[in-house]
Amino acid sequence: MTALVACETVLLVLLTVLVAGLLRSHAEILRRLGPGGGEGEAPRAAEAPPRDDEAAPDVAGVTLAGDATKLALGAPGAPDTLLAFLSTGCVTCKGFFSSFSEGAPLPHDIRLVVVTKDTSHESPSRLRELAGDLPLVMSSSAWADYRVPGSPYFVLARGGHIAGEGSATEWSQLASLLRDAFDDLDAFGSDGEARAMRADRALRSSGIGPGDPSLYPGGEDR
């Protein structure tokens, strides 16, 4: 009987050590993976810092008719352009295809251009069904140039620069975002001074004003 109890005790100790080792191994794996996935994983495009006033790359691709085309967004006199990055595999995108096709009004007479990936990712026949006569460019390179994180995604190009960008789930939300973007641009412009004024507004809304000690880590008031 004593020998049986001793054996059970030894087995219990071994089991405890095994479980502890597995837990430590699991914790180490989670630590290395971190909250975003694999070790060393690059930040997601959607988490990239704002690109206000960054030059808007030209969009080169192919139309649904098979013709090569290029939008020179930095050319003198280029109109304000809304690039709508949409996909046939995106359920939310179908609502935007429908709204655009029905002529939903864009503020400030913005030129609309739908940008999809090329034929290695999209079906031209399905795009014709959804887009109809909408201006459309198939260009996977544009998705890469604008670092589009997914669809639907929208970029406002004005004066050759990116004046705003983001995602929306329905037409009314997109229209509101565009109105706000143009209100800011009309009030503050689109240069570095505009970015500084927007930053000042954000700081003031958080209760931080000029000369606040939190702005100067070294403790020196300027």
pLDDT attached to residue 30: 35
pLDDT attached to residue 148: 95
Region label for 72, one of left (φ > 0), alpha (ψ between -120 and 50) or beta (otherwise): beta
DSSP H helices, 72-209, are 91-101, 124-131, 140-145, 171-188, 192-205
pLDDT attached to residue 176: 82
pLDDT attached to residue 204: 53
Going along the chain from its start, the domains and CATH numbers come out as: 51-205 (3.40.30.10)
- pLDDT tens by residue, the chain, 222 residues: 565 545 555 445 444 544 444 444 444 433 333 333 333 333 333 334 456 568 999 999 999 999 999 999 988 888 999 999 999 999 999 999 999 999 888 877 789 999 999 999 999 999 999 999 999 999 999 999 999 999 999 999 988 999 888 888 888 888 887 877 777 666 555 455 555 555 555 455 455 555 555 544 454 444
Q: Is the CA virtual torsion 152, 157, 161, 165 positive or negative? A: negative
